[in-house]
Every structure is written in structure tokens, then in C-alpha cells.
Amino acid sequence: MIYIDIITGFLESGKTTFINELLENEAFEEYNKIVLVICEAGFTQYDENELKRLNVVPIFLENESDLTNNLFNSIESKYCPDYVLVEYNGTWNISKIIGLKTPKFYKLRNIILISNAESFDNQLDNMASLMQPHILNSDVVVFNRFKKLNEKAQKKLAKVIKNINPKTKVTFYKRFRRDKILKERFIMSKDSDEKLSNMTTDIEISALLILCYAVICVFREQNTYTYIQYMATVFLGILMQAIPFILLGAFISSIIQIFTSNGWIMRQISKGRWYSFLIAAFAGIFMPICDCGMVPIISGLLKKNTPLPQTMTFWLSSSAVSPVVILSMLYAFPDKPYLAVVRFIAGLFIGITVGLILKLFNLETGDVVCQTRRVQRIGKDILDLKYKGLMGKIEAVFAGAKVEFFRVAEYVIVGALISAVLQTVLPQTMKNIIGQNIIIQFVIMIAASMLMSTCSTSNAFIGRSFSNNFSTVPILSFIIVGPMLDLKNMIMLSEILKKRFLFFLAFLVILESIIVFGALSFCF
């Protein structure tokens, strides 16, 4: 087995120094012939005599087009090396070298990205399309020149890398011999590492098998099976119902991110300081989709850096002003059509006031959005596109929607699973604690709306079915606040927003609803 290691990074990032140190390590002395492929045009800092002493043959590639399928074959036939090291050009496409054909006994062992810690942030922001694939494919990211950064900044860097590829390791490089992560990669045979990761996958697979076995056992116990089957049906029902909306939301989000410039949305939403909230609140009328489809749109907007207060107003109100929702209210309460109006106004009121409070707190989008936001942004530069012009734009929207779909689907699955379990467990417990006290009713209804994850378009009917045991105002709170506090939506939003902010938001909504429904209970 002949290993190939790739060291990549931008010019001046310290690749050459790193390679020199690497080759001087005694572990590399046992190689009789090392081929060093250098993909950097112009001068190099290698000492030729030194290379000769270390049995290293340098090969120079000037252009990206020199990377042909024949490369490793000709190296093999010409030099018969027992180790190949590549100094790769950071501005070249990394998947090009990974995709090259190699002789069968060649194995790509490591891809190491060397980066200047001080300029990393800047590079990632400005050259995302270059940097992201390199990080995505790297086993280790080695940071140089990090002395000026404090520990917190270093941790932040590590977090950014982990968000792009959770399997990529991060090291702050001092000397090769002292670096445990790198030594493991290069010196101790990689087998041990593979064994370790194999072991974890083994554990995962056996856990899955045990689960399957448990499921089979459950088959025998008819009652439990029925119970779980019901749970699974609810789970899949929620998902099936959500899929069309999530796809629609993913496409809208993708279009927002690709076609609209930052400035355009900013201007639309922040025209006039106070009345912009009204626009944001009423904008939901034009989004006749259910709340799970709204989440990708909200995250698309936040990735575009729209002002937080208005975006939250838009999000909270949308579940009350959508035409579908109003119709469902009229159908569910044919005898009390004014409840549809109450829902419309209460939804608008809560949305706008929460937005205004956020504005008073001076919360900016940047403060509450997860650090990972910028690496999750979709742009023409990040999507790997084939076509140009109009076709390119369509392709970009399509590819972006696919990325968003996979991203959101993960959270939808978790959310649907939790609410399916709660839906099967909760009703029995809830039935026992129904009280006559309106405050207790109110608390129960708010809790139910959080946990039951009902769709904003159908929860009017579910609220209706409570009407035997609850009075009108608590049911209204269930219907109106439900989509705003919905656990599934919260889990979906935690993809983009910080958890602490989501708690704050939920707190504000509950506070608002106490005021609103307290006032309403005097009217009814």
C-alpha cells in the first residue's frame, strides 16, 4: 500500500515549512523514495540538496490542467515511489485531485489544510467557494500564526470548521513532533484510527440491531405494537403533510437567497421605522402556506441579514393572517365567525408588539443568529454549477432548494418524532388534570399548543374539539399562540437562531398572550 498525503492551503500559509518539518521527521527516513508533487507555480523554498538527502524527488505542476488521470500512473512507472506527498494549490479545485484515477495500491490517506488563523475568517467570507470544499474534504485543518488570537477566538475557529465538516479535526500548530493529532495521522499507522472509527460505527450498527430486535419483540406484544404503530403513523402523517410545504418553503428560501440582493430586502422591510412592522405583519397574507413551510423562508431571510424585529413580526403574524388560516377558523367555528377576526387581530398584535419590544431591546440579527449562519448561506458561488445565464440561475435555485431541503428535513424529522410521541402520551395525562379554573385551563392550553405541534391551518379544528372541557378564551390561546410556540417549529428555527434567543422569544410571546387573553377573557 502506497500512501498519498495532500497538503493544501493558500500561498504563504506555511505549507512548505510544514512539509519540510514533516519530511525531517525520523519516521520518514524509512522511505526509500518519496515523490513530492508541487502544485505551486514560481519559486519554491525547498533546499534541493536537502531534498536529495531525504530521498525526495520533486515534480512540478504549473497549471490545474496538468492534473490528469495519468498523473499517478506515470509517477508509478517512472519513479516507483513508496510514498507520495502533494503540495496542493489552495486556489485549485480540491475535488479534481481526489477524483483522479490512481493505481489500485495507492491510497489517499490524509488531506491537510494549512491556514493562517489571522486571515482565515476573511478568506472564508470572501472566497467561500474556494475554502469550503477544501475544509469539507480535509482530515485536519492546521492553523498557523494564531499567537495573536485569544483562546475564545481559537475555539470559534474550531467551531466553524466543525460546522462545515464534523469529522474534520483542528489543530493549532507549533511543532510537528509535539502535535499529537498530526502524529497520529502520519506516523502511527492510520489503521488504529480506522479501527476506532470502525468501532464507533460498529456500536451504532449494533444499537440499531438491538432496536430492530426490540421492535420484533414488540410485534409479539400486541398492545405495545399497536401503541407504537399509532405513534409511527402520527409521525409519518405529520411528515407527509409537511413535505410539500417544506419543499415549497425551500424553493422560496433558495430564490430569496439567490435572486435578491441584501439591499433590496433591507429597503423593503426597513422603509419607515415604525410602519415597516405593519408591512411585515401583513406580508403573511401573501404566504398562504402552513407554518412549517415558513421556517425555511424565515431562515432564508435571516441569512440575508434582514432586521430581526421585523422578521420576527413577519414570522409570528404569518400564522394568524394567512388566508387559509382565516378560512379554517370560519369553518371550525361557523357559529362564531367573529373568532376569525379575533385571531387575525390578536395574531397581528402579538407579532407587532414582540417586534417592537425586540426593537426596543436593540437586538440585531447578528446577535442572535448562530455562528454557523455564514457557512450555511446559499449563493451562486458556493453551489457547484454547470450552466451559465438563465439556466444557471434555475440550476442554482434548484440546487439551493435541495441543500435547504436536506437541512430543514433533519429538524422536521426530530420535531415530528417528538410531537408524535407527545401526542400519543399527552392526551391521557391531560384529561386527568382538566380543571374548572380558567387560569389552569389557560396554562394547560399553552402547554398543549407548545407540545402538540399542530399545523396552523388545522389547529382551529383541534381547538374546537376541546370545546367541551375548556372555555373559549383558553381555546383561542391554543389556536393563536400554538404555531408561534410550537416545539417542532422551535426545533426547526434552532437551526438558524440561538437557543437562548428562542427562549426569550417564547417568553415574550407567552407574556404577550397573558396580556391579550387576559383582556379577552373580560370580553367573553
Partner 1 sequence: MFRRNNKEAIIQIILLLATACLLTYAIISKEATYYVHPRFFLGIKVSIVIIVLFAISLLSKIHKARHNVSLRRYMIFVIPLAAAILFPASGVSGKETTMSISNFSPYKNNQVNTDTNNNTNSNAGNTYDYSEGTENSSSYQGDSQSFSGDTTNINSYPDNDAGLETSSDDSKDYSEQYLQYEKDGVMVINDDIFAQWYCDLYAHPDSFKGKRCQYLAQVYSMDDGKPNQFLAGRYFMVCCIADLVGYGIICESDKRSQLKDDEWITVTGTIDECEYNGSVAPILKDVTITKAQAPDIVYVYYNGN
The residue written with cell numbers 430581526 in the block is 308
Q: How far is the CB of 151 from partner 1 (least distance, A)?
A: 26
Q: How far is the CB of 96 from partner 1 (least distance, A)?
A: 9
Q: Are 71 and 62 in contact (CB under 8 A)?
A: no
Q: How far is CA 485 from CA 347, 393, 450, 455, in A?
A: 12, 36, 5, 12
Out of 67, 455, 484, 493, name the contact with partner 1 by CB under 8 A: 455
- CA–CA gap between residue 97 and residue 340 (Å, rounded): 61
Q: Are 89 and 64 in contact (CB under 8 A)?
A: yes
When asked if residue 257 is in the footprint of partner 1 (CB under 8 A), the reply is no
When asked if residue 137 is in the footprint of partner 1 (CB under 8 A), the reply is yes
State which of positions 7-66 bind partner 1 (CB under 8 A). none
State which of positions 335-374 bind partner 1 (CB under 8 A). 335
Nearer to partner 1, 27 or 215 (CB): 215
Half-sphere exposure of 430 (CA within 13 A, CB side): 21
Q: How far is the CB of 111 from partner 1 (least distance, A)?
A: 5
Q: Are 359 and 309 in contact (CB under 8 A)?
A: yes
Q: Which of 179, 96, 175 is nearest to 134 (CA)?
A: 96
Out of 213, 398, 507, 524, name the contact with partner 1 by CB under 8 A: 398
Q: How far is the CB of 121 from partner 1 (least distance, A)?
A: 22
Nearer to partner 1, 55 or 372 (CB): 372
Q: What are the cell numbers at 475?
A: 381555546
Q: Are 400 and 257 in contact (CB under 8 A)?
A: yes
When asked if residue 385 is in the footprint of partner 1 (CB under 8 A), the reply is no
- Residues 6 or more apart in contact with residue 230 via CB below 8 angstroms: 424
Q: Are 319 and 284 in contact (CB under 8 A)?
A: yes
Nearer to partner 1, 11 or 240 (CB): 240
Q: Facing residues of 5 across strands? A: 85, 110
Choose one: 17-25, 29-37, 466-474, 508-516; the region binding partner 1 (CB under 8 A).
Answer: 466-474
Phi, psi of 25, rounded to the nearest 5 degrees = -65, 140
Q: How far is the CB of 401 from partner 1 (least distance, A)?
A: 8
Q: How far is the CB of 453 from partner 1 (least distance, A)?
A: 8
Q: Which of 361, 343, 341 is nearest to 351 (CA)?
A: 343
Q: Please count the other Cβ atoms lying within 10 Å of the Cβ belonging to residue 472.
A: 17
The residue written with cell numbers 428555527 in the block is 493
When asked if residue 192 is in the footprint of partner 1 (CB under 8 A), the reply is no
Out of 66, 410, 439, 518, name the contact with partner 1 by CB under 8 A: 410
When asked if residue 111 is in the footprint of partner 1 (CB under 8 A), the reply is yes
When asked if residue 457 is in the footprint of partner 1 (CB under 8 A), the reply is yes
State which of positions 57-76 bind partner 1 (CB under 8 A). 73
Q: How far is the CB of 190 from partner 1 (least distance, A)?
A: 12
State which of positions 418-437 bind partner 1 (CB under 8 A). 419-420, 423-425, 427-428, 430-431
Q: How far is CA 65 from CA 68, 93, 452, 467, 496, in A?
A: 7, 11, 57, 72, 39
Out of 13, 138, 305, 318, name the contact with partner 1 by CB under 8 A: 138
Out of 332, 368, 496, 516, name the contact with partner 1 by CB under 8 A: 332
Q: How far is the CB of 166 from partner 1 (least distance, A)?
A: 5
Q: Are 303 and 376 in contact (CB under 8 A)?
A: yes
Q: How far is the CB of 267 from partner 1 (least distance, A)?
A: 32
Q: How far is the CB of 279 from partner 1 (least distance, A)?
A: 29
Q: How far is the CB of 154 from partner 1 (least distance, A)?
A: 22
- CA–CA gap between residue 282 and residue 342 (Å, rounded): 15
State which of positions 278-307 bind partner 1 (CB under 8 A). none
Q: How many residues bind partner 1 (CB under 8 A)?
A: 83
Nearer to partner 1, 219 or 259 (CB): 219
State which of positions 211-250 bind partner 1 (CB under 8 A). 215, 222-223, 226, 228-230, 232-241, 243-245, 247
Q: Are 410 and 160 in contact (CB under 8 A)?
A: no
Nearer to partner 1, 251 or 314 (CB): 251
Q: Which of 157, 114, 88, 116 is nearest to 21 (CA)?
A: 114
Which residue type occupies 381? D
**What does DSSP say about strands 56-60 and 34-38: parallel, antiparallel, or unpaired?**
parallel
State which of positions 166-185 bind partner 1 (CB under 8 A). 166-168
Q: How far is the CB of 485 from partner 1 (least distance, A)?
A: 17
When asked if residue 102 is in the footprint of partner 1 (CB under 8 A), the reply is yes
Radius of gyration of the chain (CA): 29
Half-sphere exposure of 169 (CA within 13 A, CB side): 16
Nearer to partner 1, 16 or 328 (CB): 328
Nearer to partner 1, 197 or 262 (CB): 197
- CA–CA gap between residue 397 and residue 395 (Å, rounded): 5
Choose one: 28-36, 100-108, 266-274, 357-365; the region binding partner 1 (CB under 8 A).
Answer: 100-108
Out of 259, 264, 387, 406, name the contact with partner 1 by CB under 8 A: 406
Q: How far is the CB of 48 from partner 1 (least distance, A)?
A: 31
Q: What are the cell numbers at 487?
A: 416545539
Q: Which of 347, 310, 308, 359 is nearest to 483 (CA)?
A: 347
